[in-house]
Chain A
Amino acid sequence: MILENFSLEGKVAIITGAGRGLGRAMAIRFAACGADIVGAARTVAQLEDTAAEVRKSGRKFLVQPTDVSSSEQVNAMVAAALKEFGRVDVLVNNAGIGEDSFGKKLEEITDAEWRTGIDVNLSSQFYAARAVIPHMVARKRGKIINVASGYGLRGGKHNYMYACSKGAILQLTRSLALTYADDNIQTNCIVPGIFPHNEAMMRFFKGGKFIPIGRAGQDDDVGPLAVFLASEASNHINGELLIIDGGGLVGGIVPTGVAPTNPES
């Protein structure tokens, strides 16, 4: 029965950035599909809020305050997950910053801003994969889901750290996928398009009116995709970029809303 293959019943998932946005939506959806969650983020109050939603599904949620740019804290996050649940089936590398800070001019970006962004968005995913892989290799099973962005595939004006860190995540995904294919560990990458998390972002992206399908993404759109990638239903999918963007990245060489026509003869 195909739907049973999508179930996460009895699985344990670490989700970084689980206090808000896509991470929160994925945590709640995972729990509704039967998973217990280790939620990591810096802000405990937000994690507690996600935890309350997850527990309504009857699932467990371990609140794990974590600065993902610190490898010590990421190691501690994985250790805490193993201590609490005894195993990790799924790692979702979702935490990220900077998508609401486009526009800063090149010469105004400090070394510290650049390094912090790269560390939070990219190094964090490397640290978490490195911490969890020995456990997954020993069990000969595991799913790693890295969250990138459409800006990892395309550029944008005044968009440096974000585009570079997200682009590198695609490559991290591919190398992990090939290296651990023999160990039955699938690493895939979710590539969200425009998902405004607040009104300012919605204004910046003009309400999503340039998105082909006619609307911006909503956090809940990503939940089912993450469930699919965390489940047995995706066991032969590895190293793949799963784009969820209302058609944005398949076009882009003409503005949305206009189309060429043949010249009149």
Chain B
Amino acid sequence: MAIPAGLRDFALTGKRGLVIGAEHPLGRVAAVTLAEAGARVLLASQDAGADEALRQTAAAVAAAGQKNPPIRVQRAALRSDLSATADLTVRQLGGLDILVTALDAPFYAPFEESDDAAFDRVIEENFKSVWTASQEIGRVMLSRGGGTIVHISNVMAERGVPNATLYCAAKGAVRNLVRALALEWARRSVRVNMIECGWLDAADRAETQPGEFHERLVKYLPYKRLLKPDEIAGALLYLVSPAAGFVTGEAIAIDGGLLCRV
């Protein structure tokens, strides 16, 4: 379609994007959104063994206009994997302008019963991976003159939830990494922002399991329903596009107003 004059700032024509966690429902939406807006993307996984899920994302990206998007199965917790992924993106796409991460590993357990192994795993998968990705991909952006980073997280970055102490701590760490890194790179043409999803309508999540938690939670939500993954697309595109050129260090919550509640 012809892009109306007022919407040109939202287009990503000619941009090169890397989506890490592209097997995740939110990563898949991010990949398709970037492709629909005109970018070419490389799809990288959060975890090994995600081949089939990545291929499904690749098919969705192909339907959005980018034929045969390159995919890379990797572990986002491994620095060497991320470094190689950054290099591969530049080689395959000719540059790297946009990084979106959808790195998430929910963990719920009583605080006094959580062991050090749980700590290491939760911090590694929710926070260290974000830190390492920001660093390895950010270095490439700095050396190439700039870029934009969006980390997809959730509302637990802002508030506490019982039985989720470690998970909340990891998400909160991502929020403050975004603030500080945005300031550090503010004059080096790398913008860093994040998205905070509300409770998500996706498989294998605590909030979608039938039972009291699900039923009471849904009644409590301002929209009386969970967030569908594709409802993050608008905020994601706004943040990665030139339309948000004066925005850095920020988080946009997509929660129907949940964070306004007492």
Contacts and interface: CB of A to CB of B under 8 A. Distances in A.
Interface of A: 1-9, 29-34, 57, 174-175, 177-178, 181-182, 193, 212-214, 217-218, 221, 223-225, 227-228, 231-240, 242-247, 249-251, 259
A181 B257 contact: yes
Contacts of A3: 1, 3, 7, 10-11, 36-37, 237
A214 B246 CA distance: 10
B186 A239 contact: no
Nearest to B242: A224
Contact of A238 (B37, B184, B235, B257): B257
A236 B198 contact: yes
B182 A247 contact: yes
| Most-contacted residue by chain A among B3, B11, B238, B259 (CB, 10 A) | B238
Contact of A234 (B179, B227, B234, B259): B234
Given A3-B37, A5-B233, A212-B186, A236 B4 contact: no
A247 B237 CA distance: 19
A2 B238 contact: no
Nearest to A5: B234
A260 B244 CA distance: 29
A227 B227 contact: no
A180 to B, nearest CB: 9
A177 B222 contact: yes
B261 to A, nearest CB: 7
Interface string B1-16: 1011111011100000
Contacts of A240: 252-253, 257, 259
Nearest to A221: B246
B33 interface: yes
A237 B235 contact: yes
A31 to B, nearest CB: 7
Contacts of A231: 234
Nearest to A251: B183
Interface residues of B, number: 50
B207 to A, nearest CB: 15
Interface string B234-251: 110110010111111110
A251 B224 CA distance: 35
Contact of B259 (A193, A239, A244): A239
Contacts of A2: 33, 36-37, 233-234, 237
Contacts of B244: 224-225, 244
B209 to A, nearest CB: 22
A247 B257 CA distance: 23
B186 A213 contact: yes
Contacts of B259: 239-240
A239 B238 contact: no
B60 to A, nearest CB: 13
Interface in B181-237: 182-184, 186-187, 198, 222-224, 227, 231-235, 237
A217 B245 CA distance: 10
B260 A239 contact: yes
Contacts of B255: 236-238
Nearest to A259: B184
B7 A178 contact: no
Given A34-B4, A224-B243, A244-B247, A178 B261 contact: yes
Given A30-B6, A178-B222, A181-B222, A1 B1 contact: yes
Interface string B98-138: 00000000000000000000000000000000000000000
A15 to B, nearest CB: 14
Nearest to A195: B246
A71 to B, nearest CB: 25
Nearest to A222: B246
B65 to A, nearest CB: 9
